[in-house]
Structure 1
Amino acid sequence: MVELKPNRPRWRQVYEIIRGRIEAGTYPPGSKIPTVLELVAEFQIANVTAQKVYKKLREDGLIYTEPGMGSFVVEDEGDSLPQ
């Protein structure tokens, strides 16, 4: 479990951690990232908070979601994948 700071929005902290993992290659291009439920368990956050993290990652073009398959890191920053 990752400890979050109480004085900052939880969704923002988790977003920054996941974004950092993507940028560091922990989740390389094309790889599947943890599910919403896995984020809930890892960070002890609400389901709606985890969904907000995924929404922001999609808006920023870092991930895309395939219904029934999961969410994946985009292959490169120029990709325009369906959301």
Structure 2
Amino acid sequence: MIEWEPDVPRWRQVADVIRERIADGTYPPRTRVPSVVQLATEFGIAQATAQKVHAGLRAEGLIYTEPGLGSFVSRPPAEG
């Protein structure tokens, strides 16, 4: 479980965890990332918060969503 930082929005903290998992190869390119429901369950957050996680990662270009199939890793984040 994550230890929440009080001054950082929870969706950003969860996005950081998913970003780290992408970077370390836990979620390689073109593999499915946890769904909104799975994120909500794993991190004990609201589904609306989990949706923000997906939206943020999509905005960064790290994941893409295929309607009816789920969200997938686009590429690992650039280092540096």
TM-score (norm 2): 0.88
Give the match's secondary structure for 1:71.
Answer: strand
- Displacement over 3 Å in runs of 4+: none
Pair 1:11 & 2:11 matched: yes
How big is the shift at 1:5? Answer: 1.3
Alignment partner, residue 61 of structure 1: 61
Aligned length: 76
Instruction: Note closer, same or farther for the CA distance 1:76–1:44 as it changes in structure 2 (3 Å cut).
Output: closer
Question: Mind listing any 5+ residue stretches in structure 1 that lack a counterpart?
Answer: 78-83
Aligned Cα root-mean-square deviation (Å): 1.5
**Structure 2 regions of 5+ residues with no counterpart?**
none
Percent identical pairs in the alignment equals: 54
